[in-house]
Amino acid sequence: MSSLLGITREGDEHYILNLTENFKARMVNWFGGLEERIVSMIKTGTSVALIGPHGSGKSVVARYIAARLVGEYYAVIDLGVDVATFDSMLEILHEVSNALGFYDPLGITFYDSPLLPRSEPAMQWMTKCRYVIDRAMYLATRDIPTLLVLPYDLLRYSRCREAVERSMRIVDISEYLRYVDLRRVLEEVFLSHSAALGCRKTLGQFVEYVMEKHSDLSGVVALAAYGGRHYARRGCAQSKPEDLYEEALRSLAKLYYDLYSEVFFPTCQAARALATPLWLSLEGQQLPTDLAYPLANVDSIARRIALLSKLGPQDAGVKEEVLEELKVLYTPREELAPAVKWAVAPKESIIKESLRLTARENPCLLSPDNPARLIRTVYKGLLVIDSQTIFEFAKVIASLSLGRSEFCTNKIGKYVCKDGQVPPVVVDALGMAQGKRITQEVSIPSITRCDEEGVELLAGLALLDARRAPAKCVEKFVQLFYSASRSDIELFYKFYQDYLEIAAERGTLPVLRKLAAAHLSRTPPREAVTVLEKVFHAALGAEDYKTAEIASVALAAADLTSAKRILPNCDCPILKVSVAYHIARSAYESGDYQEAIRYLELALAELKAQDPRYEYTPQFVKQIEELYRDLALLTVL
């Protein structure tokens, strides 16, 4: 009976059986406290659901407990068998004093039977878990407890989650893993599997590498086991931990890919529907669930938007019909609900790495080249369905620019926010694409007097092309940009780059100075180069050297190459010294010491000229000289 559980006993030792490769690995019993807790619950008639990350040792623990109870004359009843087999097991209950219901849909991989793919019992749980729970409840009426073993995802996305949580005591193995000497445990697991194949060595660096890669504890026990096997197959030769890890991961990745593809995207159609949110999730970006549903229909949405753009007033009937079809494409499909919720959710680290490694092999699950463009198409469809949505998008853009997110609780929030945050790809979809914000995709009558402040001002400007904005509006925009010093400057460039460029082209000198100073107080992005160059040249032409200096300092922080191009050739020594110094400092910070010395020498040459029109502060002169000494020393060394 114990061998059927994948566990066998020889003397005082227990072994995990591997039927595929015909070996047995000594079990590392690190779970004494956990074992005793679960056994005591079972013996008092309490059913237990042992949950945790994939590959964390749940099945080993559960099967050891079951094997121990078999040794104490318990009958172990598999709740996943067919009706006839289950009924025949019930018939023998009167012959035994104790019994245990047992269900572990994924534990098979720990003794690697080639006869049953891992995805098959997992799919059985996802589609027919009600049968398993009904059997467990029936056994409970006869005072027979159940031990259920599930990874987080198979519990979280199953129809029986509430029933499990209501009828069983939940025990999370990860809580115990954090209180054991995990490094020692994994080294012993690694050694037991390598020794089973004739290699009595361990590789401590491999265990350290695994623990570093998987701080969430997912996959750690399974990787240690597979790592030991691959180490033995290499003849115990010295191996780089990353190379051995890659081999172990590939062995596991196929198992996990088969599992998740069978459960969540068994068909090409389902895979295509999940491709965009899934790949974004693997990259660490979780989309809102309500956005992921229409993304599955993005091609159909695009076709209907194109068709509607070609219909005229005489096609009112057709237009209404197409609009109704478009609305349907935004309606969540019940059959896709568990898969979509899984696709947009954060993934365990072992699942992330496994799917990144294997999912590209599925031609129906290709990573999208431009996910922001697809999301933007979904947003365009929302604007077509209800043009008033444009004002909600304008508020989103304005609020994001000022570091606020209260819109997440509004109606539009379900298409924009995930857990109160806006993913970067959604920001890209809302921002400037081919010179337009999402709020410029639909034409609406817009009268902007710019009498508002803050969010309301930016929301009104988001609806307007900057080239048509009155000078008053541009000035108020720059004032807001300047005063919002704690906001993310990159977001301003994503949403309002046209206003920043217009301000640099048309702004008065006071406006230009505020624009330059706003960049100086924050780290400017690469997109700021054009704006800062325009500000610099406009200020230089007007002999406003202070504004030109501020712009040059910000430009040196944004792009050193561009800053070098603007070194002025004018009768303005103080500006030359300042520009050369800040270029040198940026070059120094980027490690280009020779270039830094070259520009510092230019600055020092201007200082030595001692132009009577200017008097440099001793502190500024000291900064230049100290930087030059530091660079000279570094260059010599």
CA distance 300 to 273: 12
Does 110 score more than 60 pLDDT? no
In the chain, the percentage of residues whose pLDDT exceeds 70 is 95
For 607-624, the pLDDT digits (tens) are: 888 777 667 788 888 988
Residue 315 exposure: Cα atoms within 13 Å on the Cβ side: 11
CA distance 62 to 35: 8
Range in 2-11, 85-94, 456-465, 560-569 the model is least confident about = 2-11
The mean pLDDT of 378-406, rounded to a whole number, is: 95
Query: How much is the pLDDT for 142?
Result: 93
Cβ of 110: how many Cβ atoms within 10 Å?
Answer: 24
pLDDT band at 536 (very low <50, low <70, confident <90, very high): very high
For 314, left (φ over 0), alpha (ψ -120 to 50), or beta?
alpha
In the chain, the percentage of residues whose pLDDT exceeds 90 is 63
Please give the backbone phi and psi of residue 303, each rounded to the nearest 5 degrees, phi first: -65, -40
Does 178 score more than 50 pLDDT? yes
- What does the mean pLDDT of the chain come to? 89
Question: 171 - beta bridge partners?
Answer: 50
Let me know if 168 is exposed, middle or buried by CB neighbors in 10 A (0-12, 13-18, 19+). buried
Residue 472 exposure: Cα atoms within 13 Å on the Cβ side: 7
Query: How much is the pLDDT for 521?
Result: 81
The mean pLDDT of 567-584, rounded to a whole number, is: 85
Does 373 score more than 70 pLDDT? yes
Query: How much is the pLDDT for 478?
Result: 96
Query: What is the token pair recorded at 131?
Result: 């049968």
In Å, the largest CA–CA distance within the chain is 111
For 50-77, the pLDDT digits (tens) are: 999 999 999 889 988 988 898 888 999 9
Determine contact, residues 326/301, Cβ cutoff 8 Å: yes
Query: How much is the pLDDT for 624?
Result: 87
Please give the backbone phi and psi of residue 74, each rounded to the nearest 5 degrees, phi first: -90, 145
Query: How much is the pLDDT for 613?
Result: 66
Query: How much is the pLDDT for 401?
Result: 95
Amino acid type, 547: T
DSSP string for 180-219: S-HHHHHHHHHHHHHHHTT-----HHHHHHHHHH-TT-TT
DSSP string for 218-251: TTHHHHHHHHHHHHHHTTT----HHHHHHHHHHH
pLDDT band at 120 (very low <50, low <70, confident <90, very high): low
Model pTM greater than 0.85? yes
The mean pLDDT of 360-364, rounded to a whole number, is: 91
Could you tell me which residue, 22 or 353, shows the higher pLDDT? Answer: 353
Q: Is 402 helix (H, G, I), strand (E, B) or coil?
A: coil
DSSP string for 511-527: HHHHHHHHHHTS---GG
Query: What is the token pair recorded at 212?
Result: 């570093």
For 423-443, the pLDDT digits (tens) are: 999 999 999 988 899 999 887
Query: How much is the pLDDT for 605?
Result: 87
